[in-house]
Structure 1
Amino acid sequence: MKTLYRRARIRVAGLRMVLIPGVSAPDGLVAAPTDLRAVDPFVAEELLNGRIVLAGRIYELDGVSVFADELPSQAFAESLYSFEWLRHIRAHRTNECCAKARQLVAEWMALHGRKARGLAWEPDIAARRLIALLSHSPVVLNDAESGFYRRFMKTLGFHVRYLGMIARFAPDGETRLRIHIALAIASICMSGKQSWVSRQARRLSREMERQILPDGGHVSRNPRVLLDLLLDLLPLRHSYINLGHTVPSGLVSAIDRIFPALRFFRHQDGDLGLFNGATSTLANELAAVLRYDDTAGLTTRELPDMAYQRLVAGDTTVLIDTGRALSVELSSTAHAGCLSFEMSAGRYRFIVNSGSPENGSVELKELARSTAAHSTVTLADTSSCRFSRSAFLGPIMVQGTREVTVNRTTGPNKNDIVSATHDGYVADFGYLHEREVDMNEAGTRIRGRDIVSVGGKNNKHIPESLLAVARFHVHPLIELSQFNDETVVLTAPDGTRWQFSVPGRALAITDDIFMANVSGPRRSQQIEVAFEVPEVREIRWFLDRKA
């Protein structure tokens, strides 16, 4: 009901924006925050050639406004309406290219700029658009006429008023935080009263303290969100300083907490772990952010609030998801990947989760949320969490993991051991899943154990038999070769080899999809170990580095 109420309030806000005038144009702009995101010159060149390239699709500009036409996909539309593509114009900042971008902004303002409804005015897209228009105002306003300048400023004012009205009712998590970031950026970039700057700074501080957990993680439990937030927060902090404003205390402390958490999720190849909606990470964006990391803190072994474990020895890293969605509303972006793990060694990732497609279809994103898309155990081809498909409720979790227990110890040989159990399958089948991961001191051997045991209150209706499958998704760069029924060798491009074995059990190499590829989903492979429960309650597996 809370979700429905919030959606209704956002729609009412859009209606009020149309029926109740009162948007005054700011006097002017005093700054434009730096955009730390990567720039692609190809996008700018294609725009000069009359084509828009976004979300893996191409749109030909042939006289009809792109904003009045049918668009290639929803992902394309979201990218287009966010105007984040304006940053690519910096790579080809000629008068001609700036004029092309300004023409598109003018078309959008004429068709959608004063009607706060539809996809273009979804809270997250509107917030991203305001940040983009402010950050790239020098591009848009380059050699602009006075009439366009006035319309542009009025559009900015319209955004500020709309986002201010819906901030309390926006979806919890990243969207609501981004709205407060956008409003804080607007308050210092537009010439306005100091009271407005202070008010937005206080609101941002409160939201940062609420959403950034004590361990530096984000309430969404998505590692990629940490990077995306820093890409906006760091320029905002610099703008506060450069313009002589007091930096909000909540902003400073949150940034200091986020950096160690972001490093926690870095694999040996520099990419981030693929958990809970994380997708591909551009190396230059991550590098651009980490340049500002002056916390000088060591990477921790666990994030207790975000609920992840990290094992590191030698040049081997293992990341394990030991948590669940922190609320029903936040579960709308959660994945059913509890107890999944990823492993990297040297310069390569070996075992991964499938990740989330950045520009994929709704069906592909739903598949990415399933337990089968994660390196963990699936029972009866069913996910450990069920997600709503109701248009009214949204994709929230309606059934699934409620309790996760975690125990971390050090073995007699100084080996690092993580053991965790989740109850995501108790409601359907009456079974608990326990996983133990043990890494030796040298980082050359990883021992795993998966146990399916009776638990919870649903013990009267336990199936006589059901199929369990332990999946180990392999990164597309890794080559697999089956040594025998129980053993597979994983070979990285540089020749590094790891042997995966399951004593006493047959394993299979099957086709897979790696969804977190920069250029779109890519074919890959996975290792599957199937066993019948309750005939077999436990399997053991090993990853050994080969000379």
Structure 2
Amino acid sequence: MSGVAIADRGRLIWFAMRRGLAHVAGRLVVLRPLAALRLTGRGERIAIAPQSLRTADPTRASEIYAGRFALAGKIVVCDGRSPFEMEPPSADWAASLLGFRWLRHLRSAETAGVPRGSARALVEDWIALQGGWHPVAWRPEILARRVISWLTQASLILADADMRFYRRFLRSLTRQVRFLRWTAADAQDGVPRLQAHIAITYAALCMTGQARHLRRAVRRLSAELDRQILADGGHVGRNPGALIELLADLLPLAQAFTACNIAPPPALLNAIDRMMPMLRFFRHADKTFALFNGMGPTAQDLLATILAYDDARGAPVANATHSGYQRIEARQTVVLMDTGTPPPLSLSADAHAGCLAFELSSRQQRIVVNCGLPATGKGNWRHLARSTAAHSTVTFNQTSSCVFHDTRLMRRVFGTLVADGPRRVVIARDADDHAEQVRASHDGYADRFGVIHQRTVTLSADGRRLEGEDIFLPARGEALPPKLPDEFAVRFHLHPAIRATRVQDGHGVMLTLPTKEVWSFQSHEDRVDIEESVFLGGRTGPLRTIQLVIHGRARKAPRIEWTFALTAEPAPATASARPGREQTTLPR
């Protein structure tokens, strides 16, 4: 392991120790009345309740009122007991429950026939059972989500409340905010830590007794935004979904500043302005995000709400060098490609080994995808989903291009991190009137197998043809090492909606889309196998699908060429066409 990696590992161990100390400090709050007294404030009240951009579902409201909590893919029926007394079926379920984001569904209480006091009763239950201390509920990343949820739903929680509950609610919220100020720096790096600073800033704006902390909160939030939001608008953790998650909180935060007659900090506005175009960068024509680095199903309703705030509505950039992605778009065809190195060690818990993987979509249909990660039950799939084999790129000797650091201590505190991977990714773009091309290479296999993987993709100007080339170059010298294994597999995972039919010569496959388009896949000199795969990025859970695979040995076949081509597309409706039926032009 390199010196930099050793230094990173040392920082992580120190961070784990700090989190442990924060845990002990929290327990002391309960054990020492004087310490607990310092966490309460006087004179606080809710001045404003920020807007929540997340939609409310009346059906979910009815389920919650009936004591049925469906969270993180698990269902718990409370049978008259408080949900905070129940044994959590999973850690994700507990985190979802204690983060209180589900509280928004009770906004639709009247539509769902739910009494108005239901939200207040559930909050009161939590204060009574866990408001003093709880090892999970008081973790800074969960605490931040709860603070934001309570503030955005304050009008719902406090509707028709008596003064006794109002004071109890404010005391609990003040106590949580002050504890979060102590522990925000110990939140998991990345989105959770940024959300902790967002929550503290929300509180400083919305609670009268917290206003004196606003300047410090803004300074720390600005520093975290500058660190985490890259120059091209991507997130430093390289998960496209982080943009949706963060903008859902940052946009209302900017409005809260305005509502308080305070100019939003420049770092906040600049971060939003950079992030907005990247939403369009990662989006296919079917409105879903490309499945890179921990991205799962796209929350399309939330994404549409966020995009409504984008006044510029400009075309997305093509070359997101800071984030490590490339986009090629021609007519109604989109190619998105991962051309980045892994994020820093402390931010790599969601990073995938998918360097040079790409996704292809035509009109409203994705064709080539990565496996992605499911919205629920991530723990069951995470190891598979992060491997190189789960991406539409090349695997070498059945290994991933990244090495994952997986020890019990690190996994418990941070998750499985990327200890090593591609350190140098070289990218070149070229375009003329006929086509646009991206050529990239990475050295993720250089140390282990002495090989550099280079991939070139070229999309024609009319969007009807994507030509690709994978080359295996020696990392050192003029030839690949003779004594090291050289097996490779070039993988193209297909969306579950695609129907594949093998061409008789074994070098090609016909792909039929639900839109009645027909694309052909050809490997000019190599056999194409059709193998099983799984698609994890769907809204309904994991789905079986297939992948096209070209197997070979790099010393024997150092260059693999392949092509996706549109061979038939739906004919436009004509006056003579029968109503309700589409005409299709068949391939010649």
Per the normalisation by structure 2, the TM-score is: 0.89
Residue 88 (structure 1) aligned to one of 105, 113, 119: 105
**Which one of 245, 253, 261 corresponds to residue 270 of structure 2?**
253
Equivalent pair of 1:384/1:425 in contact (CA under 8 Å): yes
- State whether structure 2 residue 111 is matched by structure 1 residue 111: no
2:361 matched to 1:344?
A: yes
Structure 1 residues not aligned, in runs of 5+: none
Q: TM-score normalised to the size of structure 1? A: 0.95
Give, in angstroms, the shift of residue 126 of structure 1. Answer: 1.6
Cα distance between partner residues in 1 of 2:449 and 2:98: 45
Answer yes or no: is 1:10 the counterpart of 2:19: yes
**Equivalents in 2 of 1:454, 1:106: separation in Å?**
65
Deviation at 1:87, TM superposition (A): 1.1
Aligned length in residues: 545
| Secondary structure of 1:34 counterpart | coil
C-alpha separation between the residues in 2 aligned to 1:404 and 1:452? 14
Q: What's the CA shift for 1:459? A: 8.7
Q: How does 1:224-243 map to 2 (within 5 A)?
A: 224-243=241-260
Please say if 1:491 is aligned against 2:512.
Answer: yes
Question: What is the Cα deviation at residue 181 of structure 1?
Answer: 0.7
Letter in 1 for 2:13: L
**CA distance in structure 1 between the partners assigned to 2:200 and 2:88 by the alignment:** 29
Q: Given that residues 468 and 531 in structure 1 are in contact (C-alpha distance below 8 angstroms), is that contact kept between their aligned partners in structure 2?
A: yes
Structure 1 partner of 2:580: none
Task: Provide the rounded CA distance (Å) in 1 between the counterparts of 2:55 and 2:502.
Answer: 40
Please state if 1:306 is matched with 2:323.
Answer: yes
Distance 1:207 1:67 in 2: 32
Give the Cα–Cα distance (whole angstroms) in 1 for the partners of residues 301 and 393 of structure 2. Answer: 31
Q: Does 1:188 align with 2:205?
A: yes
Equivalent residues of 2:39, 2:179 under 8 A apart: no
Residues 151 and 12 of structure 1, relative CA distance in 2, 3 Å threshold: farther
1:341-375 Cα deviation digits (max 9, x unpaired): 01111111111111112212423112111111111
Check if 1:532 corresponds to 2:548.
no
- Higher RCO, 1 vs 2 (CA within 8 Å, ≥6 residues apart): 1
Q: Which string of whole-angstrom CA distances, capped at 9 and with x for unpartnered residues, describes residues 416-448 of structure 1? A: 111111111122211111111011111110000
Distance 2:442 2:80 in 1: 56
CA distance in 2, matches of 1:476, 1:253: 39
In the TM superposition, residue 392 of structure 1 has moved relative to its aligned partner by 2.0
What one-letter code is carried by the residue in structure 2 that aligns with 1:105? V
Compute the displacement of 1:150 (Å).
Answer: 2.3
Q: 1:288-367 counterparts in 2 under 5 A?
A: 288-367=305-384
* Sequence identity (%): 39
Contact map agreement 1:127 1:182 (CA 8 A) in 2: yes
1:405 aligned onto 2:426: yes
Cα deviation for residue 241 of structure 1 reads 0.7
State the shift of 1:457 in Å. Answer: 9.0
Q: Distance in 1 between matches of 2:435 and 2:499?
A: 28
How much has 1:240 moved relative to structure 2? Answer: 1.0
Bigger Cα displacement from structure 2, 390-399 vs 284-293:
390-399
CA separation in 2, counterparts of 1:364 and 1:14? 29
**Does the Cα contact within 8 Å between 1:277 and 1:356 map onto a contact in 2?**
yes
Query: 2:498 pairs with 458, 478, 481, which one?
Result: 478
2:410 is the counterpart of 1:393: yes
Report the CA distance between 1:271 and its aligned residue: 1.0
> In the TM superposition, what whole-angstrom CA distance separates every residue of 1:157-183 from its partner, at most 9, and x where no partner exists?
122112211222323221111111111
Q: Which residue of 1 aligns with 2:118?
A: 100
Question: What residue number does 1:24 align with?
Answer: 40
C-alpha deviations, 1:26-65, integer Å up to 9, x for none? Answer: 6211111111113222211112223111122221111443
How far 1:275 sits from its partner (Å)?
0.7
Partner of 1:518: 539
Which residue identity is paired with 1:192?
Answer: G
Checking the alignment, whether the CA contact within 8 Å between 2:203 and 2:210 is kept in structure 1 is: no
Partner secondary structure for residue 215 of structure 1: coil
Among residues 446, 449, 461, which one is paired with 2:466 in the alignment? Answer: 446
Which of 195, 205, 222 is residue 222 of structure 2 equivalent to?
Answer: 205
Structure 2: 5+ residue stretches without partners: 1-9, 569-588
Partner letter of residue 387 of structure 1? F
Equivalent residue letter for 2:11: K
The alignment partner of 1:27 has SS state of coil
For 1:416, the equivalent position in structure 2 comes to 436
Structure 1 residues 519, 109: closer, same or farther in 2, change over 3 A? farther
> Structure 1 residues 463, 153: closer, same or farther in 2, change over 3 A?
farther
8 Å Cα contact 1:95-1:143 kept in structure 2: no
1:4 Cα offset (Å): 2.2
CA distance in 2 between partners of 1:462 and 1:323 (Å): 29
Aligned to 2:294: 277
C-alpha distance in 2, partners of 1:459/1:123?
52
Aligned counterparts, 1:50-69, within 5 A: 50-69=67-86
Residue aligned with 1:541, SS: strand
CA contact (8 A) 2:473 2:480 kept: no
Deviation at 1:144, TM superposition (A): 2.8
Could you tell me whether the CA contact under 8 Å between 1:410 and 1:416 is conserved in 2?
yes
Provide the rounded CA distance (Å) in 1 between the counterparts of 2:220 and 2:482: 50
Provide the residue aligned with 2:581 in structure 1. Answer: none
CA–CA separation in structure 1 for the residues paired with 2:385 and 2:55: 25
Q: Distance in 1 between matches of 2:524 and 2:477?
A: 33
Pairwise CA RMSD of aligned residues?
2.0
In the alignment, residue 68 of structure 2 is paired with which amino acid? R
Give the aligned residue type for 1:289: I
| Aligned counterparts of 2:78 and 2:507: Cα–Cα separation in 1 | 56
Tell me, in whole angstroms, the C-alpha distance in 1 between the residues paired with 2:158 and 2:458. Answer: 58
Decide which of 262, 270, 276 is 2:279's aligned counterpart: 262
Aligned equivalents of 1:158 and 1:523: distance in 2?
48
Larger-Rg structure: 2
> Structure 1 residues 62, 214: closer, same or farther in 2, change over 3 A?
same
Q: Which moved more, 1:121-130 or 1:432-441?
A: 121-130
What's the counterpart of residue 393 of structure 2? 376
Which of residues 407, 428, 439 is equivalent to 2:448? 428
SS at match of 2:209: coil
Cα deviation, residue 235, structure 1: 0.7
Which residue is 1:545 aligned to?
566
CA distance in 1, matches of 2:236, 2:178: 27
Q: What residue number does 2:489 align with? A: 469
